[in-house]
Homo-oligomer: A and B are copies of this chain.
Amino acid sequence: MGTGPGAETGTEAVRGEEGAARAEPGVGSAKGRFGIFGGRYVSETLVHALTDLEDAFGRHYPTEEFQRIFRGLLRDYGGRPTPLYHAENLSRIVGFKVYLKREDLLCGGSHKLNNSIGQALLAKRMGKRRLITETAAGQHGVSAAMAGNILGLETEVFMGVKDIARQEGNVKRMRLLGAKVKPVATGEGVLKDAVSETLREWAACSRTAHYLMGSTVGPHPFPTIVGAFQSVIGEEIRAQILEKEGRLPDAIVACGSGGSNAIGAFRPFLDERDVRLHFVEGGGESLDADNCAAAFVLGRPGVLHGALMQLLQDEHGQVKPSRTRAAGLNYPGRGPEISYLCHSGRVKAGYAFDSEVFEAVKVTCRSEGLIPALETAHALAYILGHREEFDKGDVVVVNYSGRGDKDVETILRHLEGEI
């Protein structure tokens, strides 16, 4: 197992144009490229930290010892494998067979812990004493604090002031866990600003601190290593669906912005051309609304936070923050790998509007007794709203990325009139 994205994913689809471009260092590096996407666009100050991280990942991740500890913690602390649940009631509603990959049952309530434990273990091996990170919905911040505490690392979480206000419950959980929550008031006070602030902090303390990047975004090697840690999801889906159905699924559907839960679910299936892959973004109120986060519709390639990726931006190249109700989908960029996969056509990009999302929450609550995270509900809204894309006999896996406890207030407020 190598450290480059090609080696990680092991697929031609992802390797893209990499081979050709790698030749001349200093003249357009292909490091960490997925097609044209990715790269390492950071200030010189951070280059050493990123090469150190790349080295450490290459040195430790493939070892049996690292895998044993990583997989052991995911199992005994995290609760892996998470179930692949045949949602019979939901299946009846949509007219095809729906399985939910239950990342909501992972410790902390979402897929985020897979990555947090992996990176915290790396940080520990690199001799770091501190984790710094950013969070939007708070799910990643909580998982980082958990991983930090198990491994004896201090945790500091940058969070936009607007997100702090609307994800109060997770802020309290982080405080209880002893993490320092640092309010970010710059920009719009949302996730992208928190990432910027964490990068700034990292520039000043990268010798002793590790930036625990929360999704498959940022400069190389982050997209590669976050994807590697998250692909435990897809590996399990593969084994579980083979056990349950004796065959691969017809489609896998995942929500996302940075793309970590989607990449985690998709990676082991990239070479399986018969497995359709769907990526669902936040559509906001409508495609015209200023809270729309459908970057694959409204964005174009651009560079933010160290990587070239599909990006919501204005005509001048200034980044446009999005404002869907799902805090975790409000990152304006799509990670390099998901950007590449959607551009190449391997993954079909879609979106769900807020009203469809709330309806999906309601349907899932009532039919399956599960309150999905608003982010996750985008994937559910997609299968509810695009039944025509699936056949009666289809086996469809939805990556059920997180539970909605954090969103209960927002959901109830929205559904109030109806309840």
Q: Does A412 contact B (CB under 8 A)?
A: yes
Q: Does A55 contact B (CB under 8 A)?
A: no
Q: Does A102 contact B (CB under 8 A)?
A: yes
In the bound complex, CA of A318 to CA of B23 (Å): 86
Per-residue interface assignment for chain A, residues 90 to 121, with 1 indicating a CB less than 8 Å from any chain B CB and 0 otherwise: 00000000000010110100000000000000
Least CB distance from A391 to B in Å reads 23
Least CB distance from A160 to B in Å reads 21
Contact B371 A173 (CB under 8 A): yes
Contact A84 B76 (CB under 8 A): yes
Per-residue interface assignment for chain A, residues 134 to 160, with 1 indicating a CB less than 8 Å from any chain B CB and 0 otherwise: 000000000001111110100000000
Task: Specify the chain B residue showing the minimal Cβ separation from A404.
Answer: B176
In the bound complex, CA of A105 to CA of B173 (Å): 16
Task: Specify the chain B residue showing the minimal Cβ separation from A148.
Answer: B369
In the bound complex, CA of A172 to CA of B76 (Å): 30
Task: Specify the chain B residue showing the minimal Cβ separation from A412.
Answer: B172
List, in ascending order, chain B residues with CB within 8 A of A148's CB: 369
Per-residue interface assignment for chain A, residues 364 to 378, with 1 indicating a CB less than 8 Å from any chain B CB and 0 otherwise: 011111110000000
- Given the known inter-chain contacts A146-B370, A175-B419, A405-B169, please indicate yes or no for A83 contacting B79, CB distance below 8 A: yes
Least CB distance from A187 to B in Å reads 28
List, in ascending order, chain B residues with CB within 8 A of A361's CB: 176
Contact B176 A365 (CB under 8 A): yes
Per-residue interface assignment for chain A, residues 246 to 279, with 1 indicating a CB less than 8 Å from any chain B CB and 0 otherwise: 0000000000000000000000000000000000
Q: Does A77 contact B (CB under 8 A)?
A: yes
List, in ascending order, chain B residues with CB within 8 A of A107's CB: 102, 104-105, 370
Least CB distance from A255 to B in Å reads 19
List, in ascending order, chain B residues with CB within 8 A of A75's CB: 83
Contact A405 B173 (CB under 8 A): yes
Chain A's interface size range is 35 or more
List, in ascending order, chain B residues with CB within 8 A of A419's CB: 175-176
Contact B408 A149 (CB under 8 A): no
Q: Does A409 contact B (CB under 8 A)?
A: yes
List, in ascending order, chain B residues with CB within 8 A of A76's CB: 83-86
- Given the known inter-chain contacts A176-B412, A177-B366, A371-B173, please indicate yes or no for A85 contacting B77, CB distance below 8 A: yes
- The A5-51 residues at the B interface (CB cut-off 8 A) are none
Q: Does A411 contact B (CB under 8 A)?
A: yes
Q: Does A3 contact B (CB under 8 A)?
A: no
- The 7 listed contacts between A and B (C-beta, < 8 Å) are A75-B83, A76-B85, A79-B102, A105-B107, A149-B369, A176-B419, A177-B366
Which residues of A are in contact with B by a Cβ distance under 8 Å? 75-79, 82-86, 89, 102, 104-105, 107, 145-150, 152, 169, 172-173, 175-178, 361, 365-371, 405, 408-409, 411-412, 415, 419
Contacts A89-B149, A172-B412, A173-B371 aside, 13 further interface pairs with beta carbons under 8 A come to: A77-B85, A79-B79, A104-B107, A148-B369, A149-B365, A149-B366, A172-B409, A175-B412, A176-B361, A176-B412, A176-B415, A177-B366, A177-B369
